Amino acid sequence: MTPTRSSAGVKRSQLPPGVTCVGLIPARAGSKRVPGKNVRMLGGHPLIAYSIASALDSDVLDAVIVSTDSPEIAEIARAFGAEVPFLRPAEMAGDRSPDIEWIRHLLVTLETQGRVWDCYAILRPTSPFRRPETIRRAWAAFRADGEADSLRAIQPCREHPAKQWIVEGSRMRPVMPSPNPAATPWHSTPYQALPPVYVQNASLEIARTGAPLRMGTISGTAIMPFLTDGVEGFDINGPDEWLLAEHHAREHPDLLPAITERA
């Protein structure tokens, strides 16, 4: 089934009124490909400010919390209205630290303080063009589904996996082989004629807190798609994406969420 931008899959019983959701913004220090990325200036503001602003202005999140190991990032995050109740432990802030570690640590620690939510949304600073209405649309779709463990943002693949290869010595085989050996191989088929395939982007995830706390995964097993529109799914992974983000911010500043320094 091809996902839509307003809902995903078949509509089932909605989540009941009063379901709570906390926005979590991960922002560790130590980015190597774009040094200081999370607080680097874009369009006149630190990069992280745009995720904080879109989260606060979405009006669907009961709290907006930044998880960071950096006192500098924590100070900037608070200046733009986010909470930083404590710093992330260094052992959970490495290049290869999985999300499950810091999410579970944050949720468990806050639960001991009497702060509990039904769901959480991960809003990474590297997607500055994600707007408040993006979050509202995703939350509405997740609530309307009612049975999904999580929702994840996706977009159509630009490079189809049917045209990708695994190299084994002096030979190679397709990552996604054609199901019919008698037909034209998929690696020789025009992109438009191939089955639609989507890739996740880093702009947005929503999940029930029970997934990391009781299932040991940030997504659970029933994952629903959320198709992002245009640059709202744009993710800054390296210098090339940073340059493109600067271009968008300079030529189309209205694509960025409005910023208010709140502290």
The 10 Å Cβ neighbour count of residue 261 is: 11
Six-digit token pair at 53?
């602003």
Predicted confidence pLDDT, tens digits, the chain (263 residues): 445 443 333 344 789 889 999 999 999 998 888 999 999 999 999 999 999 999 999 999 999 999 999 999 999 999 999 999 999 999 999 989 999 999 999 999 999 999 999 999 999 999 999 999 999 999 999 999 999 999 999 999 999 999 999 999 999 999 999 999 999 999 999 999 999 999 999 999 999 999 999 999 999 999 999 999 999 999 999 999 999 999 999 999 999 999 976 65
* Cα separations in angstroms, 20 against 186, 203, 209, 221, 235: 45, 20, 10, 21, 27
Q: Which residue has the tokens 């960071």?
A: 68
Element housing 41 (H / E): strand 41-42
DSSP letter for 170, please: T
Q: How many alpha carbons lie under 13 Å from residue 71 in its C-beta half-sphere? A: 0
Question: Structural domains in the chain?
Answer: 21-154+199-255 (3.90.550.10), 158-196 (no CATH)
pTM: 0.91
